[in-house]
Amino acid sequence: MAGVLITGFEPFGGEAVNPSWEVVKRLDGAIIGGQPVAARQLPCVFGDALTALNAALDELDPVLTLAIGQAGGRVDITVERVAINVDDARIPDNKGLQPIDVPIAAGGPAAYFSTLPIKAIVTALRSRGIPASVSQTAGRLSVIT
């Protein structure tokens, strides 16, 4: 498919919906910038989300992948600078798993820095009236970081 893969998550933590999926699913099948968009919902389960993401990457072979998530309490779109290579769950996932200080990619670096122009992305969003900011990290509660 050489297009765009965009992912969102299923509900978790007792919530009925996950805003990340509610937004993402509306883009499935769209053509943006001449590229077809495919949306996939990821499970909120440590390990399973990465497996599902890798399956979507293998299936679609996208030129761009956007992983969208929910961060309760944030009031704007936050563009992440760093993905920490550790699962350290404050609450259990949807299967009851609660890893503590477990590397996501064994033998990998402690963190992965974005190669995107994150400040330019934030500036572009703001110029369109969309509240946005740079987030230094998504934290340690991420099932696919």
Give catalytic residue positions. 80
Q: Residues in the chain, how many?
A: 145
Across 120-137, b (16+ Cβ under 10 Å) vs e yields: eebeebeeeeeebeebee
What DSSP designation does 103 have? -
Euclidean distance between CA atoms 81 and 104, whole angstroms: 18
Q: What residues contact 135, with CB distance under 8 A and at least 6 apart?
A: 71, 74, 78, 79, 80, 81
